[in-house]
Amino acid sequence: MSAADRPVLVVDFGAQYAQLIARRVREAHVYSEIVPHTITAAELAARDPAGIILSGGPKSVHVDGAPGLDTDVWDLELPVLGICYGAQLVARDLGGEVSRTGKGEYGRTDLEVLAPGVLFSGGQPTHQQVWMSHFDSITTAPTGFTVTASTTDVPVAAMEHVGRRIHAVQFHPEVVHTPHGQAVLEQFLYDVCGCAPTWTMGSVIDQQVAAVRAQVGTGRVICALSGGVDSAVAAALVHKAIGPQLTCVFVDTGLMRQGEGDQVVETFQRHQGIELIQVHAAERYFERLAGITEPEDKRKTIGELFIRIFEETSGGIEDARFLVQGTLYPDVIESGTSEAARIKSHHNVGGLPEDMQFELVEPLRLLFKDEVRAVGTELGLPDEIVWRQPFPGPGLGVRIIGEVTPERVAILQRADAIVREEVRAAGLERDIWQAFAVLPDIRSVGVMGDERTYAYPIIIRAVTSEDAMTADWARLPYDLLERMSSRIINEVQGVNRVAYDITSKPPGTIEWE
């Protein structure tokens, strides 16, 4: 296999930007995956990567227990790019010096290119702005390395050993605050690793079509169609692969957004020509969720019932033993892997019962959300499906804090519809990653029509993001917030107060539960 067809692996040392590095590599049309820093040299060699990128990390290379790399990796003769902490590991492991100079660099920093070398060739300016986030610094490069860039406080801001194809940069080329960062990454990918920009959404579709056909053969497949972007694209992709072998099952849990169930049926049954079974299960969900208030318990209850309903439904579909789910790469990372602690159990990952009778088909498991949208467009799905805002698998069940009841769902559905209607009317729908309403488990005193009220507040949550791994609260115009608040209080019975959540991720998550 040529380097053009092999992956570039991002070794994760606990960096908040590890996923972003992988995304930037993919934006260069080179396939990339994240692997834990505990991976051995043998395991790495077995993956046959075109190159590896060592991510940043929150620790110092000098502290006890700091994550390291199997030193046998250096004997594999693979192209290596170390970033921040990864650059310091390169220096430390290969005989250079990493020191605590007492002068860290955080934020925008001016970089001077001393020698173009490989990473800064191609017409990049000799003085450029980069984003730094470090306290330790490389003060002496290992023998055989050339220092290619420095800053006022850091003598070795970039270095390379052309013969060994090992490169290191103290700054973060993956963030937008480093304007020429993508060019640096592409120099490494194309000129050092020998990769070709062949990983496109068209190639993803071709690869997954072949993978699905190989996995299921002539078997019958059902798809857990939730109404969200992920399951919709997964269904369309699997349908392209196996056609009539696929039956989609849409379980109307009663926890959908207002009017969403009808739109799902309309799109897939009438326009996509996919066999669709609709199961009305709201009553069963409300019965099962009665008295449950803990977020993880709700997620697992919703996930387990989902599977049980599918198992019942598949009884009418001969030999159905495969289940399609729209699991994405961030779902896998956030649900807990060897390199990421569990943040929450995603419905598509952690909420499945151990005794499930289906074999999972997850054609989107290694894709980020923007890539999923691109695949959906390539497959011909309508914009109203492809550009629908992300919606959690458990639906409104995790946007209602506390017990889920029909009354509370009805309140939230109407409030949420108003939020989305106003965002759309303001022309901000594609500028905002998600905008929705949350119903907390409290009531507050108010005055309406000269009478005292004791009703629910509604919390509006709106964020901007690229891939949901990190997010910032959206700076919505005050007049838009005022319209939302006024309409919700006037049109939604049982609500007398509206608040706006201005928490970013981290420290919060996008969803409240």
Taking the C-alpha atoms of residue 239 and residue 200, their distance in angstroms, rounded to an integer, is 20
Burial 305-332 (b: 16+ CB within 10 A, else e): bbbbbbbebbeeeeebebbbbbbbbbbb
Q: Are 24 and 182 a contacting pair, CB within 8 Å?
A: yes
Q: What residues contact residue 53 under an 8 Å CB cut-off, 6+ apart?
A: 8, 9, 10, 11, 21, 25, 32, 80, 81, 82, 83, 86, 188
Catalytic residue among 134, 161, 167, 172: 172
Q: What residues contact residue 51 under an 8 Å CB cut-off, 6+ apart?
A: 3, 8, 9, 78, 79, 80, 81, 165, 188, 189, 192, 193, 195
Catalytic residue among 105, 160, 174, 339: 174
172 has catalytic annotation: yes
Region at 119 (left for phi over 0; alpha for psi -120 to 50; beta for the rest):
alpha
Taking the C-alpha atoms of residue 323 and residue 405, their distance in angstroms, rounded to an integer, is 29
Amino acid at 79: P
Q: What residues contact residue 19 under an 8 Å CB cut-off, 6+ apart?
A: 34, 329, 330, 333, 368, 467, 469
How far is CA 331 from its chain centroid? 7
Residue 89 vs residues 71, 92, 106: alpha-carbon distances, Å: 10, 5, 19
Terminal-residue alpha carbon distance, the chain: 44
- Per the structure block, which two tokens stand in for 434? 């998600």
Among residues 413, 437, 419, 420, the alpha carbon closest in space to that of 493 is found at: 413
3-state helix, strand, coil in the chain (%, to 5): 35, 25, 40
Q: Are 55 and 369 a contacting pair, CB within 8 Å?
A: no
Q: Are 422 and 487 a contacting pair, CB within 8 Å?
A: yes
E strand map for 338-450:
359-361, 434-438, 444-448
- Per the structure block, which two tokens stand in for 459? 């919390």
Three-state DSSP state, 414: helix
Among residues 339, 53, 370, the alpha carbon closest in space to that of 230 is found at: 370
Taking the C-alpha atoms of residue 148 and residue 111, their distance in angstroms, rounded to an integer, is 10
Among residues 204, 216, 259, 248, the alpha carbon closest in space to that of 377 is found at: 204
Q: For the purposes of burial, counting CB atoms within 10 Å of the CB of 196, is it exposed (0-12), middle (13-18) or buried (19 or more)? A: middle
Among residues 476, 497, 468, the alpha carbon closest in space to that of 373 is found at: 468
Which residues are designated catalytic?
Answer: 84, 172, 174
